[in-house]
Each structure stands twice: as C-alpha cells, then as structure tokens.
C-alpha cells in the first residue's frame, strides 16, 4: 500500500529538493525556492507519495483552487500548480508504468478521502524532457478507463529547432524565415544594434509592463521584485537580455527574460519600445539567439540545446481561449513549429 503525505515546507524542503534535482523531469520551477517565492498567493497542497518500502517515488506540486483572488474554502478543487507554467505528477526515474499507475490511483484515493472533487494538471510537454528520458505515460494514466478526465484547454506554443552549427543555420533555419522576416533582419543588422546581458530587471521591466498594458490591458505575471528574486536564486536558469542602440547612447530598444529548461531555451517575456519596433530589435534578438545560443549561455554546465521556445500566443482572460493571430504569425515567420500544451481535469469520484 502506498502512503501519501501532505508536503510541509519546514519538514520536507530538503527531501523534496533532492528528489527534484535527481529527477530527469525535475525542472528548477519545481524546487521550493521557486515554488514558494509567492506562497502568500496560494494555499499549498503539494503531495509526497511513498511506496511500501517508505521510499519517495512521486511528488505532486499542487494548491487549492482559486476563484478570482480568494481561496476556495470548500477545498473542492486542487490544481497542479496555479503558480507554475506546468504542474503534474513527477515520478521517480525508471519507475515502471504499473508502479506509476498504483501511485497515481493512491493519490486520487487520498484526494477523495479529503473531499476533493477534481484535480487539474498541466503535463510537461515532450520538449521539456531529455531525449533519452522522454515518457508519455502520464497521458495514458489520464485516459485510464477507471477515471473520467477531459481536456480543459489546449495552448499553442511556438518552437524553433536550434541549429547544430553555422551550416545548419544557413541551410535550414534561415531558409525557413519568411521573406518579410529576412527583410526586417537586414534592416536590423544595418542599424548598429547590440545584445547585452544584464543582471537587473529594473533596466528594462518598464518596457514589458508598458507593452502588456498597451496591447492587452494586463500586467506581467511577475512583479519586477519577484522576477529579480527568482533571477538571483536561479542564475543558471534565468537570464535577462536587452538590445541596445549603439548610435543613440545605448538606448534599450528591446528586452527578454529567458528561462532555461534542460535542452530548451524559453522566452518567458519579450518586448520592444516604439523605436525598437521600427528597427526590428526583437527580430534581431531572436535571430542572434538562434544563431549564437552557445555564446550567450556559456556559464551553463551543459549548454547543448535543442529548442528555442517563443511561448504561447493565447489571449489571456479570454473565455474562448482564442489565439493572438498577429503574434502567432510573427513567430511562424521564424519557421517556428507548433507544439501543444494540454490542461486536464480529472474527476475524483465521490
């Protein structure tokens, strides 16, 4: 019989982090220093699953469902995890499928006893997994005939396959650029632009805030203090880059916050000023990252990357979950492919 334990930050932090760091799916955002940087926003209900030998074989980062800004007092819904891009059962490496299935159903039984009615999870996409560790067993579990589950939402993420060398870039990546993208890049490269890494979010955060406010009447998910805190905690996973105009007193024209997920470079935020848009500064930044990614991430122990993720193009707070077509097209003009992110709801039988 498997046993389930509710995570306690003071008691279980070390064990949890060790499990995450030794796991092929243990991305930095599952570590407690990320998971709890904004703990006041969520009522945590993360779980730890142990086998019959009392060995930790699975963890589930999770919190109680939130309606608006208030916590659901009935504890009817549990979400993995509302404070993260992804959230799912993280199984011990090399655990057999049948053992995963037992752990999965033991967890659902635990949630049932605790009066939960449904569990929402967002599995890691395949490109977040190492090539020799790719595993889609969670999707089989979600379609087991002993449970009822449904897809709540599908998000379209734009991905670029990174070149292995300059020849690959010229013959594959650059050839996949649209005619307009090539024209924009020609203008950008003639404009004396340069890319710099910065350690301070305050150098550029206003650009991101103004872009989101102007285009969507929204604020970034993170505040400037929060993104700086995360950068300081995870210096090998979070990077800040800006594009400057050399001829205009090094004016910042564009910026990006980049998260590193094993073999994937993910642009978490990107924005440009009015002048930056005229000079195609963001196109310049992305082209440089595609062509010279190994130069910009030299301090990473293993800088062998396969993908550049440009993120999703969904319209936030939109009931129909429609796509921002202009943004999506802009990404496709880099030759980006579409990978789907699935959000599942599992009904927990009463």
pLDDT at 72: 44
pLDDT of residue 167 exceeding 70, the answer is yes
Query: What is the SS3 assignment for 117?
Result: coil
Mean pLDDT over 194-200 rounds to 96
Q: Per mean pLDDT, which range of 107-111, 279-283, 322-326 is the poorest? A: 322-326
The predicted model gives 17-33 an average pLDDT of: 91
pLDDT at 331: 96
Among residues 24, 86, 90, 59, the alpha carbon closest in space to that of 340 is found at 86
Mean pLDDT (the chain) is 88
Q: Where are the beta strands (DSSP E) in 174-306?
A: 193-198, 238-245, 251-261, 264-272
Domains of the chain are 3-146 (3.40.630.30), 158-340 (3.40.630.30)
Q: How far is CA 87 from CA 26, 46, 178, 282, 306, in A?
A: 11, 10, 35, 30, 22
**pLDDT > 90? residue 188:** yes
pLDDT of amino acid 299: 63
Mean local confidence (pLDDT), 305-328 = 80
In the predicted structure, residue 9 carries a pLDDT above the cut 60:
yes
Least Cα distance to 232 among 7, 33, 18, 3 occurs for 33
Q: What's the pLDDT score for residue 302?
A: 57
Q: What pLDDT score was predicted for residue 125?
A: 82
For the chain, what percentages of helix, strand and coil (3-state, to nearest 5) are there? 35, 30, 35
CA quadruple 158, 163, 164, 169: dihedral, nearest 10: 180
- Structure confidence at residue 73 (pLDDT): 47
194-216 average pLDDT score: 94
pLDDT score for 338: 93
Judge contact between 261 and 238, C-beta under 8 A.
no
More confidently predicted of 67 and 108: 108
Residue 61 has pLDDT above 90, yes or no: yes
Residue 134 in this model has a pLDDT that exceeds 80: no
**Coil vs helix vs strand at 221:** coil
Give yes or no for residue 68 having a pLDDT over 50.
no
Give me the pLDDT at residue 197, please: 96
Q: What is the pTM of this model?
A: 0.90
Q: What would the pLDDT profile of 232-291 be if each residue is shown by its tens digit?
A: 999 999 999 999 999 888 899 999 999 998 889 999 999 999 999 999 999 999 999 999
pLDDT band at 303 (very low <50, low <70, confident <90, very high): low
Q: Return the pLDDT at 84.
A: 84
- Would you call 24 exposed, middle or buried from its count of C-beta atoms within 10 A (0-12, 13-18, 19+)? middle
Mean pLDDT of 37-66: 90
Residue 73: helix, strand or coil by DSSP?
Answer: coil
Nearest alpha-carbon partner for 256 in 217, 216, 225, 296: 296
What percent of the chain clears pLDDT 70, i.e. is strictly above it? Answer: 91
Strands 251-261 and 238-245, by their bridges, are antiparallel
318 in helix, strand or coil?
coil
> Which of 292, 254, 253, 281 lies closest to 270, judged by CA?
254
Q: What is the pLDDT of residue 26?
A: 81
Q: At 336, which helix (H) or strand (E)?
A: none
Report, as an integer, the average pLDDT of 197-217.
93
Q: What is the mean pLDDT of residues 93-118?
A: 91
For the chain, helix (H) and strand (E) counts, in that order, are: 12, 16
């Amino acid at each position: 019989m498997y046993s389930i334990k509710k995570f306690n930050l003071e008691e279980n932090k070390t064990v949890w982090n060790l499990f995450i760091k030794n796991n092929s799916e243990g991305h930095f955002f599952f570590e407690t220093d990320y998971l709890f940087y904004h703990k006041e926003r969520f009522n945590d209900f993360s779980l730890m699953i142990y086998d019959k030998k009392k060995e930790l074989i699975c963890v589930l980062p999770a919190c109680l469902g939130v309606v608006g800004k208030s916590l659901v007092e009935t504890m009817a819904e549990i979400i993995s995890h509302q404070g993260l891009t992804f959230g799912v059962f993280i199984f011990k490496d090399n655990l057999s499928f049948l053992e995963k299935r037992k752990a999965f159903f033991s967890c659902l039984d635990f949630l049932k006893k605790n009066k939960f009615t449904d569990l929402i999870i967002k599995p890691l996409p395949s490109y977040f997994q190492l090539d020799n560790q790719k595993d889609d067993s969670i999707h089989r579990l979600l379609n087991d005939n002993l449970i009822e589950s449904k897809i709540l939402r599908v998000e379209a993420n734009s991905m670029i396959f990174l070149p292995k060398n300059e020849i690959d870039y010229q013959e594959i990546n650059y050839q996949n650029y649209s005619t307009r993208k090539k024209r924009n890049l020609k203008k950008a490269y003639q404009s004396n632009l340069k890319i710099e890494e910065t350690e301070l979010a305050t150098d550029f955060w206003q650009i991101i805030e103004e872009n989101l406010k102007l285009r969507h009447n929204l604020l970034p998910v993170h505040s400037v203090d929060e993104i700086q805190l995360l950068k300081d905690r995870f210096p090998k996973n979070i990077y800040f880059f800006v594009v400057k105009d050399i001829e205009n007193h090094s004016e910042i024209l564009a910026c990006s916050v980049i998260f590193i997920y094993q073999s994937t470079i993910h642009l978490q935020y990107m924005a440009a000023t009015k002048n930056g848009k005229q000079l195609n500064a963001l196109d310049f930044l992305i082209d440089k990252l595609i062509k010279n990614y190994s130069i910009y991430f030299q301090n990473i122990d293993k800088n062998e990357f396969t993908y550049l993720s440009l993120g999703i193009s969904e319209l936030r707070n939109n009931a129909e979950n429609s796509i921002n077509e202009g943004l999506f097209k802009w990404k496709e003009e880099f030759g980006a492919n579409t990978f789907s992110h699935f959000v599942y709801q599992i009904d927990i039988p009463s």
